[in-house]
Amino acid sequence: MPSFSVLFLPDHKQAVIEDNETILHSIVALEIPLKASCGGKGTCNRCRVLLKEGQVRSVSTGKLTAEQQAQGYILACQSFPVSDLVVEIPAASRLSEHRVVVEDSTITEAEDSAGTGATGAAHAGADITPLYTTIDLTIPAPTLDETEDDLGRLCRAIRKETGIEQFNPHLDVLRTLPSVLRQADWQVTVALAEQAGGLLELADVQPGSGDKKHYGLAIDIGTTTVAAELIDLANGRVMAVKGTYNKQAVFGDDVISRIIYTTENQNGLQELQNAVVLTINNLIAELGKELAVEPEDIRTAVIAGNTTMNHLFLGIDPTYIRLEPYTPAVKNIPPLRAHRLGLQIHPQAWVHCIPGIASYVGGDITSGVLVTGMADQDPLTLFIDIGTNGEMVLGNKEWLISCACSAGPAFEGGGIRHGMRSMEGAIEHVTIAPESFDVQCQTVGDAAPIGICGSGLIEIISGLRQAGLIDRKGNFVAGLNTPRLRDAAEGPEFVLAWSGESGNMTDITIAETEIKTLIRSKAAVYAGIRSMLLMVGLAVADIERIIIAGGFGKYINIRDAINIGLLPDMPLDKYTYIGNSSVAGAKKVLLSKQAREQIEDIAAKISYLELSVGNIFMEEFVSAIFIPHTDPSLFPSV
Amino acid sequence: MPSFSVLFLPDHKQAVIEDNETILHSIVALEIPLKASCGGKGTCNRCRVLLKEGQVRSVSTGKLTAEQQAQGYILACQSFPVSDLVVEIPAASRLSEHRVVVEDSTITEAEDSAGTGATGAAHAGADITPLYTTIDLTIPAPTLDETEDDLGRLCRAIRKETGIEQFNPHLDVLRTLPSVLRQADWQVTVALAEQAGGLLELADVQPGSGDKKHYGLAIDIGTTTVAAELIDLANGRVMAVKGTYNKQAVFGDDVISRIIYTTENQNGLQELQNAVVLTINNLIAELGKELAVEPEDIRTAVIAGNTTMNHLFLGIDPTYIRLEPYTPAVKNIPPLRAHRLGLQIHPQAWVHCIPGIASYVGGDITSGVLVTGMADQDPLTLFIDIGTNGEMVLGNKEWLISCACSAGPAFEGGGIRHGMRSMEGAIEHVTIAPESFDVQCQTVGDAAPIGICGSGLIEIISGLRQAGLIDRKGNFVAGLNTPRLRDAAEGPEFVLAWSGESGNMTDITIAETEIKTLIRSKAAVYAGIRSMLLMVGLAVADIERIIIAGGFGKYINIRDAINIGLLPDMPLDKYTYIGNSSVAGAKKVLLSKQAREQIEDIAAKISYLELSVGNIFMEEFVSAIFIPHTDPSLFPSV
């Protein structure tokens, strides 16, 4: 098969590819972070690159404009080499680091003081019971009068200290146990790690008293971003937090594209697994470097991810998650050794995954519910995590119901031409003056605007409606006298920032079709909330508090979100924002035995409402494709 | 460092060795089975080889005679190359295959019909509950009305079939579970394997009904020999049995030499581990070849070995087994994966080791006690396993006491010039006519005699004493008129077979010093029995039955063993021989849940009497260094 050399600029990375391999495939292999929202199907237009030298065979030009094609743009996912190539990857086509919301400080401070368990570990603070814990022990030396073996003697000492009966010694511990005990003159530090079936592993025995530091990781694997906290297991302190985009993004923006990628590509599952493992390993390396922590000293990890992310992380076939009746392979994953998963921490470390509820309500949501405390409190609480999907849990200590609605990636910038994630230059706050239609934009980092992030999109729709620029259906009102409203090739659009003001010499606009997309997204979320309420025979007014989680939630203006009908019309003081509750819950589980018991109960207790079954959701959705709703009585304050 | 080429004949194997490496080291590396009873200390004279070409530097000539040295013999363990060499390894210095006693047929037939457990496995016979079991299942296909995952659905079906609550799925099972279930149209065969902490691992899921065969191994790791049984897990049938010598023999004949080898050689422990693993893997390969069984289809193994053998097999530091107060690292080893131990069966198979009692009473003895049934029966039973060590257990369902006496390797031919293991040409039965002193020898395989095995040694001493050739202390009686009694360089000796009759053109003799060695060995065994009885305030006459196990026991003449004072003077019908009870117990544990529970109880119940503590044993030993004993009332029938 003929193969050709391809040089990628400005990275100056080179690859040799066969004539049946796409340019995208080669870019992925070189780990150049390219956007490919649709997962290589030629529909999203994100992976466009500039052909500088050589010739390609493109099976499709997708949505590339004639102008772009004339400039030399090709779609990397649709193009195959027919000669040696030089390809430039423009900045606009690159995934770049963006703000990743980590734990909210209010949660960090509201440390669980409960959870003192039986381990009574000498090296862990009195109020924490971590998954990996160390104890100082002095063991009586053996005498001729007894036949106890070294292990038996050690276990007796641990039992005396902790009250725990059974231990499973690791072979590496047994192999050197006799010399360690004697060289240490019977004064040792013993490490206990929770493994499958609630069994405690005797994971390490070291001479002397344990002044050595051990760490744990709390990791949130999101479809878009991955966040990791490095935690000192002795005191539960978060040493550092890092977040980055999920390198799986080159295989598609949403879980469905990625599942399709695994089914349509022979090594697809392996590629997606490698991508997320690499993402996490890079975070671990950064955390380790910053704090001078050796990977070997990270002795356990807790993962909170949605169900698809868990499958992909573990290399488990995700095919049936997206096919009716939407059955995941596994919701409750047993602890696994780090080396089996390729995580670059101590190879024998146990990695625990937080149990999920259903194919589209995963461990990240269970984790969030744990953090809210709603599962053991009285008030009827609505917990919402809006990301690529909108996942919601409604209930209190008596019952909990959950659902997931395909909000689509619109609020994350997906399918919106000038949409982008929350990073420098993204318009995040907007006011539109009535009559003059003057626009005030506030951007992330106060930079010149280059696009619009989710919170900006909500404020734009709210602003356009309040200024009388759009009607209840999202159509631009005809006959208004402003140059900002104009007809473009793909229909009417509104200019938020002129090319002269923008950071990329382009008019930043929002099109009518995009407004419709956003209305459908917000309608899906609101219809999901209403469907759950109807299932349990309650009304919006019965909700006593609403807790919002996730990166998107951090920056949104609740008032505007109510105005457009995304969130229920409730007094603003009933709303709370709790940040990345997924990683916060993972941390709780890492540090508290009580939380570990609780999370199992929560996962078992939450029922799941499949919105695609029956007509309730569809009816609610149709009623919600208005601003704010077809039933104005639901939004009295608007 | 200078290095030289060495060619070994008749094997025609070649090695390059450095001038600080012994010839023995090189022979071991080439896996040529050389005798080295003392473990390379230059004292046993067994590793003598012929230097055919080249020159060596020998740091010792050990016990080589002047004649041997003149013939070109060197000790491989004491010689280093100073030029390229050609070395011949004579047959007499080679370890060779010999009779390995496996399970006795009486036990094979007395199959445990107890032990039906909760698993109710469709593929295992109704009366067996193996460590690895398969079940046929039909699983209801998922519907939109429920959110159960594939794993949950599978576990529910297993629970319904077996009543067992908790399972630990293997990652490999999870990875392909969705497609396996669907391709199989929800009709699958599930495999369950017992792992640590009594947890059941969900080890495999295959489409269809399970007509695939699965096997287990019962393995006895003896200091001298290793025996393995391949068992069909569906019906508990023993498919084949194989035994061979333990390849660790080149590192010393007894456990003490081997422990010393690990402490005195940097990679000693690794070498010993490799040697026994290779021994077992060769047996597995032979068994597999004979029966056309793939290694991957062997899904579990049970190991019964003495405490030192277990340490060496697992690569656990055995140093303190031989140092006061004789503390093993571990007596009760958790199940381990085959691949961690290098066993060439299914890599994920769990390997279970039978728990031991003390440093010198190991899992082989616990296994034997299980087989005897003495631990839940009334009669006061003495269980004796005489091998390199003499291990004994006394008791009944109320109590059990054990001890080990260093009988030394004499009965296995160790330290006896013409001593040998039980193989072709070994004198196993001897009669000596009074007055004429004519000797009748019967050999293994009726071949011309080339040495004497353990049973022969007992009959020789009994015969010499009965013929009036030796006195009660083992000294030859002076003034007897027979050419068979003569003075040699190392003292008086008796000729059993003249060079003309023998198979190796050598007079086969027994020396007075060797008789004394054998008397010390038998005295140690008898003193051990008496010490246990004294500890519990009982007399020899209180023993209701004696059960003899082990390879040595198979061929011995009990009457002669009583005559020389090795075994208690009891009616012969109180003696039973049960063959290799170590491997028989391993098989029981492999096949019966009840046996697995029982073996834990037995190991916990047996107390251990350390004979080196206090004076009881030493007094008994001194009293027993006579034929049959200083107290003739203990041997009324002699």
Q: What are phi and psi of B381, to 5 degrees?
A: -120, 140
Mean pLDDT over B35-60 rounds to 86
Residues from chain A that touch B357, judged by Cβ atoms under 8 A, are 147
Residue A490 has pLDDT above 70, yes or no: yes
Residue A115 has pLDDT above 50, yes or no: no
* Of the partner residues B143, B178, B610, the one whose CB lies closest to the CB of residue A325: B143
Residue B423 neighbours by CB distance under 10 Å: 19
Nearest chain B residue to A169 by CA: give it.
B334
Residue B106 has pLDDT above 50, yes or no: no
pLDDT for A138-155, tens place per residue?
Answer: 999 999 888 899 999 999
Residues from chain B that touch A144, judged by Cβ atoms under 8 A, are 324-326, 610, 612-613
Any A CB within 8 A of B615 CB: no
Cβ–Cβ below 8 Å for A315 and B175: yes
The pLDDT of residue B96 is 64
Residues from chain A that touch B143, judged by Cβ atoms under 8 A, are 325
* Residues 6 or more apart in contact with residue B448 via CB below 8 angstroms: B425, B501, B502, B503
Minimal CA separation from A73 to chain B, in Å:
40
Cβ–Cβ below 8 Å for B144 and A326: yes
d(CA A236, CA A253): 34
Minimal CA separation from B168 to chain A, in Å:
7
Mean pLDDT over B408-416 rounds to 76
Residue A380 has pLDDT above 90, yes or no: yes
Split at pLDDT 50, 70, 90, the class of A98 is low
Q: Angle between the B268-291 and B255-264 helix axes, to the nearest 10 degrees?
A: 120
The pLDDT of residue B101 is 55
Residues from chain B that touch A149, judged by Cβ atoms under 8 A, are 327-332
Cβ–Cβ below 8 Å for A149 and B316: no
CA distances from residue B531 to A462, B378, B518 in whole angstroms, order as listed: 95, 21, 20
Minimal CA separation from A630 to chain B, in Å:
30
Nearest chain B residue to A166 by CA: give it.
B197
Query: Of how many residues is chain B composed?
Result: 638
Minimal CA separation from A219 to chain B, in Å:
20
The pLDDT of residue B447 is 92
Q: What is the mean pLDDT of chain A?
A: 90
CB interface of B with A, residues 341-370, below 8 Å: 357-359
Split at pLDDT 50, 70, 90, the class of B402 is very high
Residues from chain A that touch B340, judged by Cβ atoms under 8 A, are 171
Q: Which of B149, B313, B320 has its CA nearest to residue B247?
A: B313
pLDDT for B333-357, tens place per residue?
Answer: 999 999 999 999 999 999 999 999 9
Nearest chain A residue to B340 by CA: give it.
A171
Secondary structure of residue A165 in the 3-state scheme: coil
Residue B553 has pLDDT above 80, yes or no: no
CB interface of B with A, residues 433-472, below 8 Å: none
Decide if B545 contacts B382 (C-beta within 8 A): yes
pTM: 0.87
Decide if A300 contacts A349 (C-beta within 8 A): yes
Three-point CA angle B260, B265, B271, nearest 5°? 90
d(CA B454, CA B462): 13
pLDDT for A539-588, tens place per residue?
Answer: 999 999 999 998 777 778 999 999 999 999 999 999 999 989 999 999 99
pLDDT for B147-177, tens place per residue?
Answer: 899 999 999 999 999 999 889 999 999 999 9
CA distances from residue B144 to A420, B153, B243 in whole angstroms, order as listed: 36, 14, 57
Q: CA torsion A553→A555→A557→A558, rounded to 10°?
A: 20
The pLDDT of residue B116 is 32
Residues from chain B that touch A171, judged by Cβ atoms under 8 A, are 314-315, 336, 340
Mean pLDDT over A165-189 rounds to 95
Residues from chain B that touch A174, judged by Cβ atoms under 8 A, are 314, 316, 329-330, 333
Any B CB within 8 A of A633 CB: no
List the structure tokens of B382: 């003495």
Residue A293 has pLDDT above 50, yes or no: yes
Instruction: Provide DSSP, B230-289.
Output: EEETTT--EEEEEEEE-GGGGG-SSHHHHHHHHHHSTTHHHHHHHHHHHHHHHHHHHHHH
Minimal CA separation from A172 to chain B, in Å:
9
Cβ–Cβ below 8 Å for A179 and B319: yes
Q: Given the structure tokens 């990683």, which residue do they identify? A: A583
* Beta bridge pairs of residue A325: none
Minimal CA separation from A186 to chain B, in Å:
13
The pLDDT of residue B105 is 41
Q: Which of A514, A625, A617, A512 has its CA nearest to residue A565?
A: A625
The pLDDT of residue A108 is 36
CA distances from residue A436 to A483, B76, B621 in whole angstroms, order as listed: 11, 104, 115
Would strands B381-386 and B545-549 be described as parallel, antiparallel, or unpaired? parallel
Any B CB within 8 A of A178 CB: yes
Minimal CA separation from A173 to chain B, in Å:
9
| Bond from prior residue into A325 cis (ω within 30 degrees of 0) | yes
Residue B608 has pLDDT above 90, yes or no: yes
Q: Which of A400, A503, A493, A499 has its CA nearest to residue A450?
A: A503
| ipTM (interface pTM) | 0.87
Minimal CA separation from B164 to chain A, in Å:
13
The pLDDT of residue B210 is 72
Q: If you count residue pairs, one on A and one on B, with CB atoms under 8 Å apart, how many are there?
A: 144
List the structure tokens of A222: 């999101």
* Residues 6 or more apart in contact with residue A492 via CB below 8 angstroms: A476, A485, A486, A511, A512
Any B CB within 8 A of A156 CB: no
Mean pLDDT over B584-589 rounds to 97
Would strands B439-443 and B400-405 be described as parallel, antiparallel, or unpaired? unpaired
Q: What is the mean pLDDT of chain B?
A: 90
Cβ–Cβ below 8 Å for A333 and B142: no
d(CA B525, CA B386): 8
Cβ–Cβ below 8 Å for B314 and A612: no
Residue B119 has pLDDT above 50, yes or no: no
CA distances from residue B292 to B212, B243, B289, B298, B339 in whole angstroms, order as listed: 13, 18, 5, 12, 21
Decide if A52 contacts A72 (C-beta within 8 A): yes
The pLDDT of residue A216 is 98
Minimal CA separation from A82 to chain B, in Å:
38
Residues from chain A that touch B334, judged by Cβ atoms under 8 A, are 168-169
Q: Which of B482, B389, B383, B379 has its CA nearest to residue B432?
A: B482
Decide if A452 contacts A419 (C-beta within 8 A): yes
Split at pLDDT 50, 70, 90, the class of A386 is confident
Instruction: Provide DSSP, A206-239.
Output: EESS--S--EEEEEEE-SSEEEEEEEETTT--EE
List the structure tokens of B384: 């004796």
* Of the partner residues B144, B171, B314, the one whose CB lies closest to the CB of residue A610: B144
Out of A294-308, A546-560, B270-284, B571-585, least confident range: A546-560
pLDDT for B455-504, tens place per residue?
Answer: 999 999 999 999 999 999 999 999 898 999 999 988 999 999 999 999 88
Would strands B400-405 and B606-608 be described as parallel, antiparallel, or unpaired? parallel
Cα A94–chain centre separation: 19
The pLDDT of residue A116 is 32
d(CA A40, CA A29): 14
The pLDDT of residue A109 is 35
Cβ–Cβ below 8 Å for A150 and B319: no
CB interface of B with A, residues 386-425, below 8 Å: none
Cβ–Cβ below 8 Å for B177 and A334: no
Nearest chain B residue to A608 by CA: give it.
B147
Secondary structure of residue B298 in the 3-state scheme: strand
Residue B543 neighbours by CB distance under 10 Å: 18
The pLDDT of residue A38 is 79
Residue B14 has pLDDT above 80, yes or no: yes
Residues from chain A that touch B166, judged by Cβ atoms under 8 A, are 197
Residue B69 has pLDDT above 70, yes or no: yes
The pLDDT of residue B113 is 36
Per cent of chain B over pLDDT 90 is 73
Mean pLDDT over A529-533 rounds to 97
Region of A39 please: left (phi>0), alpha (psi -120 to 50) or beta: left
Q: CA torsion A78→A83→A89→A94, rounded to 10°?
A: 40
* Beta bridge pairs of residue A137: A188
